[in-house]
Structure formats: C-alpha cells, structure tokens
C-alpha cells in the first residue's frame, strides 16, 4: 500500500452495503405477481451486482428482446424503490472502516452503476449522504463502469488525484474501471461473487475477505 492514498471509493451493491435482501424481495414479489414461486436467496444474491436487467432475466426467465421485459424490469425497480432499506445494511465492519477513514483525515465516496433515482435515496436513508465526499451513480456521467469516466469524476469531486485513490468493488468491471483510471484496487470477496466469477484473474492489487481488511491494507 502507498501512504499517498487520500480517498477510498466504494462500489455500492455488494461492497459498501448488503442490498441483496431488498433486491431479492422485489424480484420475488414480481415472480409472485406472475404466478411463479419464490427463488431461494442463494440463487439471487450472486447476480445482484450485475444490475436489474440480469436480475429480471434470472427471475422471469425472459430476455431483453421479450416484449414483457421492459415493463417487468420497471415493475421490479418500482417495488425495490419502495423497499430500499427494509433490510439493507452496511456490511459488518464497514461502519468502522468509514469512521476510521474519516478519523485519519481521509475521505470516501461511492461509484456505482445504480441509477441516481435509486442511489440517492438509498444513501440518504442510510444516513451516508452528508458523510460521502462524492456519490457517482450510473447516470452521473455518459459512461458507466467499466469505463473509467465515473472514477475520474469521483476523484475530481473528492479533491484527489487518481494515484491518491483506492477503489473497492466486488465485480470484474469495478476492478477494470479502477485500473483503467489509474487507481489502486481491492476485490471484495465478501460481496456478490458468483460461482463463475474468477476474482483471482481480475488483477486487483489485493483481494479481501472482510471490510476491516481495507484498514489493514491502508496501514500496510
């Protein structure tokens, strides 16, 4: 670790916050409305970081070309919006990480592909908005991760150079975006890693099993 790190940036779903329970609730609610049985949480959790479209493909067994796809995707998002923080919480240890970052005189922020109309109320309801140096959503910049543009925008808002930033994420596109922007990266193995994912091949600077390992890495 370089002692020059000033800003720690996080992916939202599966890295900063455990949003899977509420997203699974919304998906199974759509299935219920379609007369389908609920999917087990274990089947839903690994795909949460891949976004609404992938979740709807999994949950309703339809493709984006299906005429039902767009309205059912919107229905899923509408239900989710109504239950953003029903069960969503920071991952265990993450609050301690954020407090330690703040106490060290550093700052932190979020870079997510989640649209702002979901990201902003979620951050607000979790009491994190005022603490974050930046909140970059999937529609904040013209491009989304794995493009580096959102990462560069976050650095600018946080008042740091890219070489002063660390990005923590649980998906390959997170690590790719961070690396393309010139940041240090950590792969969050406690996040929504699927059986087909191969984080050891993402070329992150390190892989972590628990949020508190972020502090170990920063101090190393």
Catalytic residues, by residue number, are 11, 13
- Looking only at the bridges linking them, the beta strands covering 89-90 and 17-18 are antiparallel
Which stretches within 45-133 are classed as H helix?
52-60, 69-82, 94-103, 116-125
Closest Cα partner for 15 from 184, 187, 138? Answer: 187
- Looking only at the bridges linking them, the beta strands covering 7-10 and 165-169 are parallel
Asked if residue 84 lies in contact with residue 9, where contact means CB atoms within 8 angstroms, the answer is no
Asked if residue 150 lies in contact with residue 136, where contact means CB atoms within 8 angstroms, the answer is yes
Residue 126 Rama label (left phi>0; alpha psi -120 to 50; beta): alpha
207 Cβ contact list (under 8 Å, min separation 6): 186, 187, 189, 199, 200
Give the chain's radius of gyration (CA, Å): 17
């Amino acid at each position: 670790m370089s002692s020059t790190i000033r800003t720690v940036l996080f992916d939202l779903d599966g890295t900063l916050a455990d949003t899977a329970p509420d997203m699974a609730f919304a998906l199974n609610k759509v299935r219920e409305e379609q007369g389908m049985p609920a999917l087990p949480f274990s089947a839903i959790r690994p795909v949460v970081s891949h976004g609404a479209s992938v979740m709807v493909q999994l949950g309703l067994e339809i493709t984006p070309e299906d005429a039902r796809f767009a309205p059912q995707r919107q229905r899923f998002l509408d239900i989710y919006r109504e239950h953003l923080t029903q069960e969503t919480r920071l991952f265990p240890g993450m609050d301690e990480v954020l407090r330690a970052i703040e106490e060290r005189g550093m700052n932190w922020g979020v870079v997510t592909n989640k649209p702002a109309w979901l990201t902003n109320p979620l951050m607000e309801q979790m009491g994190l908005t005022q603490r974050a140096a930046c909140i970059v959503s999937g529609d904040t910049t013209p491009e989304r991760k794995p493009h580096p543009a959102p990462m560069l925008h976050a650095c600018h808002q946080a008042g740091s150079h890219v070489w002063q930033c660390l990005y923590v994420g649980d998906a390959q596109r997170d690590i790719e975006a961070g690396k393309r922007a010139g940041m240090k990266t950590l792969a969050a193995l406690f996040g929504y890693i699927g059986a087909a994912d191969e984080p050891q091949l993402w070329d992150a600077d390190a892989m972590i099993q628990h949020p508190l390992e972020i502090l170990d890495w920063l101090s190393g």
